[in-house]
RNA sequence: GUCCCCUUCGUCUAUCGGUUAGGACGCCAGAUUUUCAUUCUGGAAAGAGGAGUUCGAUUCUCCUAGGGGAUACCA
C-alpha cells in the first residue's frame, strides 16, 4: 500500500514554526516512501478562517520547499459529505440528537469538576425519545461513544496509549446549525483522501482516541498515528508570539535560508546518530518515525543561525545574489542595476564567508554599490589619519601604475607599498579598507580591490585625501 | 479537578543493561589572520529525586517532583 500523508492546518493564522515542522515530517515520510503528501485546509471554523491565512500557508509551504501532491482539499467544501456520514450514523443508532443547552452543559461540567469526576457530557439525550425534544431548539448530533472499557491508540511515536472510555464523552458531530465539527470532518476526509499515516502534534493525542472510536463505529480502517512532541519557546513554555511562534515568512524576512530552516527543524525532535548537517536528499533517504524523540524541544535561534551561516557559506553565489538583490533594493530605495548585480556576485564568495543571514549579506554588500564619495562610519573615519591618508595617496599612485588589475597584481602592489613605507600590512590594509568600503569590516582587502576595479578603487582612495 | 505524555551538559541530541556517558550549538582558552568572519586545537558542562529488578542500571518497573498537552456547538 502506498503511503499517503497529509498536512492539515487551520487557516486562522500564519504557518507557524511548529506547523512547519509537522508539514516537514509528513513531507519527508511521504517522499521517503515514494508516496503522496496531501494538503488539506481545515476551514470549518468560518469565524476564524481567513483567505490571508490560506495564502500565508501556501506561501510558507512553497518557500520551505514542501511541495504537495494533488489539489489542496478545502474541508468546508466537503460539509455535505460529512453530514451524510453523521446521518448514516443516526440511522444506524450510533449517533443521536441532543437538545441540551449551553447553560446545561456548563453546569454539568462544573458539578463534575467539583465532584472530582471527569468533566464530560453525561449523555442525558443518549437514550431519550426524540418526542421529548423541547420545541424550538435546534439539536446537535452527538456520537454514541462506548461508555465502558478502554480505547488504545497504537501510536508509532508514543507507543500504545490507553484511555478509559468514561473519560471520552459523546462528542458533537454536527453543530446546531448543521455544520460538521472538526472531529467528524478529519475522520471522513482522512478516509476519503486515502490517508494511511497521520503525523501531527501530540496536542491531538486525545483526539486520536475519540477519532478511533468514530472510525471503528463507521467501520473504516484505522490509519497509523504518530503524535510528535510540540516545540517550545526558549523559556520552555508553549510557543507564543513573543518568541518562536512566528510565521515562516518571518524567518524568511530575518534572512534564514529555507534549506537551513529545514535542516534545523528536522533535528528538532528527530535524529540520525551524530549527524547534524543533513541535506534534504539525505533527509528523505534517512527519515523514519522510530527516531522521532518523545519529549518537547525548545527553539534555539543560536543553533539555527549557525546552520544558516553554514548553508550560506556553501550556497551558490548567483543564488545568494538573487536573494540579496531585493533586500538591497528595498533598503536603498533604488533599483539594482545588472552591473551592480554582477559586482555583488563577483564579491559574493568573499561576502558569504562572514555572513550569518541573507540580511547581513545585503548589509555587507552595500559598499559595492555605494556612490562616491563614500560616507565613512566613525570607526572608519578615525583610521584615516593624516599620515594614513598620505600613505594611501602614495598607494594610489602605485596602483595607478599597474598594467594589469587582478587579484595577484593588486596584492603585490599593496604588499610592496607596505614594505616601502616600512609598515605592517595591517597598518595599510585597515585605512585602505576604510577608504574602499567606508567601514572597518569587509572581505579580504585584495578581494575588495579586485572586485571594485581600478577606477572605483583608486577613486575611492583619492576621495579620502586629507588636505 | 480529571485524563494523557515527557524528564541525559544552558540548548538540540546519541546511547536500545556493562561506555573514561559521545556529537552539535553556545560559552571559555589558544593557534592562524589585513578587519570581521571562517578554519584548527584544547577546556568547563548532563543521566530530576527515591525505591525496586539485576552480578551490573542513564537504559527495565513503581512512586514522588517538575514540565507539557487535552479537557469547546475551535481546529
Return the CATH number at A410: 1.10.10.350
The total number of structural domains in chain A stands at: 3
Is the confidence at residue A132, as pLDDT, over 90?
A: no
Question: Does any domain span residue A85?
Answer: yes
Instruction: Give the model's confidence band at A76: pLDDT under 50 very low, under 70 low, under 90 confident, else very high.
Output: very high
**A165 Cβ within 7 A of any nucleic strand B atom:** no
Average pLDDT, rounded, for chain A: 94
**Which CATH number does the domain housing residue A147 bear?**
3.40.50.620
As a whole number of angstroms, the distance between CA A456 and CA A461 comes to 8
Instruction: Give the model's confidence band at A115: pLDDT under 50 very low, under 70 low, under 90 confident, else very high.
Output: confident
User: Do residue A387 and residue A341 come from a single domain?
Assistant: no
User: Do residue A392 and residue A339 come from a single domain?
Assistant: no
The last residue of a domain, from among A352, A369, A386: A369
Instruction: Give the model's confidence band at A243: pLDDT under 50 very low, under 70 low, under 90 confident, else very high.
Output: low
Question: Does any domain span residue A161?
Answer: yes
In this prediction, residue A467 carries a pLDDT of 61
In this prediction, residue A245 carries a pLDDT of 66
Question: Does any domain span residue A34?
Answer: no
Question: Does any domain span residue A390?
Answer: yes
Chain centroid to Cα A378, Å, comes to 38
SS3 label, residue A188: helix
The last residue of a domain, from among A329, A350, A369: A369
Q: Region A401-420: what's the mean pLDDT?
A: 94
Question: Does any domain span residue A47?
Answer: no
The answer to whether the CB of A326 falls within 8 A of the CB of A359 is no
Could you read off the pLDDT of A149-186 as tens digits, one per residue? 999 999 999 999 999 999 999 999 999 999 999 999 99
The answer to whether the CB of A30 falls within 8 A of the CB of A62 is no
Which residue is it, cell 453543530? A175
**ipTM score assigned to the predicted complex:** 0.95
CA of A309 to C1' of B5 (A): 35
Q: Establish whether A356 is an annotated binding residue.
A: no
As a whole number of angstroms, the distance between CA A172 and CA A184 comes to 8
Residues 32-61 of A with CB under 7 A from strand B: 42, 44-45, 48
Instruction: Give the model's confidence band at A133: pLDDT under 50 very low, under 70 low, under 90 confident, else very high.
Output: confident
- All cell numbers assigned to A372: 562616491
Question: Does any domain span residue A247?
Answer: no
**A176 Cβ within 7 A of any nucleic strand B atom:** yes
Q: Region A87-107: what's the mean pLDDT?
A: 94
Question: Nearest nt (C1') to A99 (CA)?
Answer: B73
Is the confidence at residue A101, as pLDDT, over 60?
A: yes
**A70 Cβ within 7 A of any nucleic strand B atom:** no
Question: Does any domain span residue A389?
Answer: yes
User: Do residue A365 and residue A383 come from a single domain?
Assistant: no
As a whole number of angstroms, the distance between CA A220 and CA A201 comes to 23
The answer to whether the CB of A25 falls within 8 A of the CB of A199 is yes
CA of A280 to C1' of B70 (A): 34
User: Do residue A84 and residue A218 come from a single domain?
Assistant: yes
Edge to edge, what strands does the sheet with A172-174 contain?
A95-98, A140-143, A172-174
Q: Please, what is the angle between helix A338-352 and helix A445-463, to 10°? A: 130
Residues 397-456 of A with CB under 7 A from strand B: 424-426, 429-430, 433, 440-447
As a whole number of angstroms, the distance between CA A452 and CA A347 comes to 9
Residues ≥6 apart with Cβ < 8 Å to A80: none
Kindly report whether the peptide bond that precedes residue A232 is cis, defined as omega within 30 degrees of 0.
no
**A79 Cβ within 7 A of any nucleic strand B atom:** no
In this prediction, residue A240 carries a pLDDT of 56
Determine how β-strand A159-164 pairs with β-strand A150-155: antiparallel
The answer to whether the CB of A64 falls within 8 A of the CB of A262 is yes
Please give the positions of A annotated as active site. 241
Of A303, A237, A239, residue with least CA distance to A267: A303
User: Do residue A448 and residue A347 come from a single domain?
Assistant: no
SS3 label, residue A38: strand
Domain carrying residue A354: 315-369
**A236 Cβ within 7 A of any nucleic strand B atom:** yes
User: Do residue A405 and residue A358 come from a single domain?
Assistant: no
The last residue of a domain, from among A193, A228, A263: A228
Question: Does any domain span residue A6?
Answer: no
User: Do residue A390 and residue A324 come from a single domain?
Assistant: no
SS3 label, residue A402: coil
Amino acid at each position: 500500500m502506498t503511503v499517503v500523508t497529509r498536512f492539515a492546518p487551520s487557516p486562522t493564522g500564519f504557518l507557524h514554526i511548529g506547523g512547519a515542522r509537522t508539514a516537514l515530517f509528513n513531507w519527508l515520510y511521504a517522499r521517503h516512501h515514494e508516496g503522496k503528501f496531501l494538503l488539506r485546509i481545515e476551514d470549518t471554523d468560518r469565524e476564524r478562517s481567513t483567505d490571508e491565512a490560506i495564502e500565508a500557508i501556501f506561501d510558507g509551504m512553497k518557500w520551505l520547499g514542501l511541495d504537495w501532491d494533488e489539489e489542496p482539499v478545502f474541508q468546508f467544501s466537503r460539509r455535505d459529505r460529512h453530514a451524510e456520514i453523521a446521518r448514516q450514523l443516526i440511522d444506524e443508532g450510533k449517533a443521536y440528537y441532543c437538545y441540551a443547552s449551553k447553560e446545561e452543559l456548563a453546569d454539568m461540567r462544573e458539578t463534575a469538576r467539583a465532584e472530582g469526576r471527569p468533566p464530560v457530557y453525561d449523555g442525558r439525550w443518549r437514550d431519550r425519545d426524540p418526542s421529548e425534544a423541547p420545541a424550538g431548539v435546534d439539536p446537535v448530533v452527538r456520537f454514541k461513544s462506548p461508555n465502558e472499557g478502554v480505547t488504545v491508540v497504537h501510536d508509532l511515536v508514543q507507543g500504545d496509549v490507553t484511555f478509559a472510555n468514561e473519560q471520552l464523552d459523546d462528542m458533537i458531530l454536527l453543530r446546531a446549525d448543521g455544520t460538521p465539527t472538526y472531529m467528524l470532518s478529519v475522520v471522513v476526509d482522512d478516509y476519503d483522501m486515502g490517508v494511511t499515516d497521520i503525523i501531527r502534534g501530540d496536542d491531538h493525542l486525545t483526539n486520536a482516541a475519540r477519532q478511533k472510536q468514530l472510525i471503528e463505529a463507521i467501520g473504516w480502517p484505522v490509519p497509523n498515528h504518530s503524535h510528535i512532541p510540540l516545540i517550545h519557546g526558549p523559556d520552555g513554555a508553549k510557543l507564543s508570539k513573543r518568541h518562536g511562534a512566528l510565521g515562516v515568512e518571518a524567518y524568511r524576512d530575518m534572512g534564514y535560508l529555507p534549506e537551513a530552516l529545514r535542516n534545523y527543524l528536522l533535528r528538532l525532535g528527530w535524529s540520525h546518530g551524530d549527524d547534524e548537517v543533513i541535506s534534504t536528499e539525505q533527509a528523505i533517504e534517512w527519515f523514519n518515525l522510530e527516531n522521532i524523540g518523545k519529549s518537547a524541544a525548545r527553539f534555539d535561534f543560536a543553533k539555527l543561525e549557525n546552520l544558516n551561516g553554514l548553508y550560506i557559506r556553501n550556497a551558490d553565489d548567483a543564488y545568494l545574489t538573487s536573494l540579496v538583490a531585493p533586500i538591497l533594493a528595498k533598503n536603498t530605495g533604488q533599483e539594482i542595476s545588472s552591473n551592480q548585480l554582477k559586482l555583488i556576485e563577483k564579491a559574493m564568495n568573499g561576502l558569504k564567508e562572514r555572513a550569518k543571514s541573507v540580511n547581513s549579506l545585503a548589509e555587507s554588500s552595500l559598499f559595492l554599490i555605494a556612490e562616491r564619495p563614500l560616507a565613512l562610519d566613525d570607526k572608519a573615519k578615525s583610521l584615516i589619519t593624516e599620515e594614513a591618508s598620505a600613505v594611501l595617496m602614495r598607494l594610489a599612485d602605485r596602483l595607478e601604475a599597474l598594467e594589469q588589475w587582478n587579484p595577484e597584481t593588486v596584492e603585490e602592489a599593496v604588499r610592496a607599498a607596505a614594505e616601502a613605507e616600512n609598515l605592517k600590512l595591517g597598518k595599510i590594509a585597515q585605512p585602505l579598507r576604510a577608504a574602499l568600503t567606508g567601514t572597518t569590516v569587509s572581505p579580504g582587502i585584495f578581494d575588495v580591490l579586485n572586485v571594485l576595479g581600478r577606477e572605483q578603487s583608486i577613486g575611492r582612495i583619492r576621495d579620502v585625501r586629507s588636505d
